[in-house]
Amino acid sequence: MATTDEKVYKPEEIPEQPFPGDGEQIAETAPALGGGVLSQGTVPAKKFPTKRVAHELIASSLNTKSRKILASFEFTPSGALQIGKYENGVSGDVRISPNGITARDSAGLTTFSIDGTTGDAVFKGSIQSGSLITGEVIVGNNNIILDGENQRIIINDGANDRVLIGYQLNGF
């Protein structure tokens, strides 16, 4: 039983409002001074603004129409940079980080790798150049050595030097 001191709260009823039709929206007019009556007004239908997308950019540093970089850009330090997205059988990618550069083909095989710490480089394909300056070129597992510093070519059978072209101190 409720005592006379207890209040009983009942939910407030909100009357149904009709949904505006045919693009008309319901707007309320400001009440007149002194508590006038609110009345329904209409707002004319408006179209959504169209999305504008730039398809070409021609600026002093970048021209997307000709796909050319026209000026230098400054890079900020970051963790790494990935060019492309590797998808098996579809596309490869190139990754550049402080530890080096690697690239892989669509089969997932590394096509080249340059170790940023040691300077070692590995290439899957051919290396072609107009000229090559190096101290030694070692072919295979030390069986053929082109030694530019000592001006000689050595061909080894795995145990002994069999062919020597050039100079060898106390050689044959």
pLDDT tens profile 63-76: 878 888 888 877 77
Tokens of 118: 């040691």
Q: What is the pLDDT of residue 103?
A: 95
Tokens of 75: 């890079």
Please check whether residue 145 is in contact with residue 153, taking contact to mean a CB–CB distance below 8 angstroms: yes
Report the 3 state secondary structure along 75-110.
CCCCCCEEECCCECCCECEEEEECCEEEEECCCCCE
Lowest-pLDDT range of 126-130, 156-160, 163-167: 163-167
Closest CA to 107 of 126, 83, 91: 91
Residue bearing the bigger pLDDT, 21 or 45: 45
pLDDT tens digits for range 92-130: 999 999 899 999 999 999 999 999 999 999 999 888 888
Q: What is the pLDDT of residue 106?
A: 94
pTM exceeds 0.85 for this model: no
The one-character DSSP state at 5 is T
In Å, what is the CA distance from 103 to each residue of 82, 96, 107, 114, 123? 10, 9, 11, 9, 10
